[in-house]
Chain A
Amino acid sequence: MRTARLVALTAVSLLIALTLIARLGVWDALFPPSIPTFGASMVRPFNLTDTNGHKVTEHDMLGRPAVVFFGFTYCPEVCPTTLADLTNWLAELGPDADRLGVFFVSVDPARDTPTELGKYLSSFDPRIRGLTGNAADIDGIAKAFGIYYQRVEIEGGGYTMDHTASVLLLDSSGRFAGTISYQEAKEVAVAKLKRLAHSADGA
């Protein structure tokens, strides 16, 4: 009788603990995705939608070096600043910019519909391709790229997203080739992109 109650109690506590870990993002908070190692293969199969409603898969990210940034349109500072930086860097790169695929992936697909995302990105370089999708697909690509993101409720209504603020660089085979951190000096960022743009030259 006592043993049975103990087993039941343990089972219930375990269930509660597992639910908390799964539902509240405790796992992600305890073990945020780590920075990948150079040359690690990053791109896994995915199904997303661009701002014109077209399907985008991993094949659209392979074949030429890619520059990928994760964010959301309700973001007050980091995302618009980084998109403006990307716009300036691409202009600075000149024709080399056309060797790169540039992607902005939403970590807030519930609010960032293709239409909203398209409107938002119209303020930046048109080569920045906006991607959104359903929650599971976004989660898949974020995990594959080692991107941390977490919904945070705001007292009094609404929510915001904590998220990785670095720009990811991938070579043409989808392997990790570095990052550009938030507010990185322009010369450094442009040099990294230039190197990335020519990384496929010898291949």
Chain B
Amino acid sequence: MMNARTIRVALSSAVVLLLVNLISAAVAHDYALGELKIVRPWTHATPTGATTGVAYMSLTNTGSVPIRLTGASTPAAQRVEIHMMSVEGGVMRMRLVPGFDIAPGATVELEPGGMHLMLVGLNRQLHQEDAIPLTLAFGNGATISIDLHVEAIGGGPSAHNH
């Protein structure tokens, strides 16, 4: 027999649990390296046998000098390339770029339909909810290891929100 008190306790624990989950989800996906903030790095799950993957994130430079991303690597793929992608006039085009600058105060978004890191020669299938380690390398020689959160194929935190 559920009385009012039991219900109240159950409800408030549910709220607390939800908050804890939300906060840890937000914290777990953000990183900082000096003046650089890396927010929500993620990737898509890959189809069976897929040889390529992507990495998306938001990079914000809170400092006063430009920061240059020069490369990345992951144990999950042979190599990681920085790609500029566009869909214009219904045609998807993708080009390799050697790196890019994040100007002081600026945010660079790596996101579907735009720039991404491409994981070339995947050696494993990426499954939803996995964490894929990725190391980013910067022009000043600094590196940082982060985890990509694997979202559903075609899904993702910022996809299809229009």
Contacts and interface: CB of A to CB of B under 8 A. Distances in A.
Interface of A: 32, 35, 73-78, 80-85, 88, 116, 119-124, 148, 152, 154-156, 158, 160, 162-166, 179, 181-183, 185-186
Interface in B76-110: 81, 83, 85, 87, 89-96
Contacts of A164: 90-92
Given A165-B90, A166-B90, A179-B90, A84 B155 contact: yes
Given A81-B44, A154-B96, A116 B154 contact: no
Interface in B139-162: 152-155, 159-160, 162
B49 interface: yes
B51 interface: yes
Given A160-B94, A183-B159, A74 B52 contact: yes
Interface in B35-83: 44, 46-54, 81, 83
Contacts of B133: none
A163 B113 contact: no
B91 A81 contact: no
A129 B3 CA distance: 57
13 contacts: A35-B90, A74-B52, A76-B53, A84-B154, A88-B154, A122-B48, A123-B153, A154-B81, A162-B91, A162-B94, A165-B92, A179-B90, A182-B92
Given A35-B90, A122-B47, A185-B160, 5 more contacts: A74-B52, A76-B83, A78-B92, A80-B44, A81-B159
A160 B81 CA distance: 12
Contacts, number: 99
B120 interface: yes
A18 to B, nearest CB: 25
Contacts of B50: 73, 80, 120
B94 A181 contact: no
B53 A162 contact: no
A156 to B, nearest CB: 8
A119 B90 contact: no
A121 B50 CA distance: 10
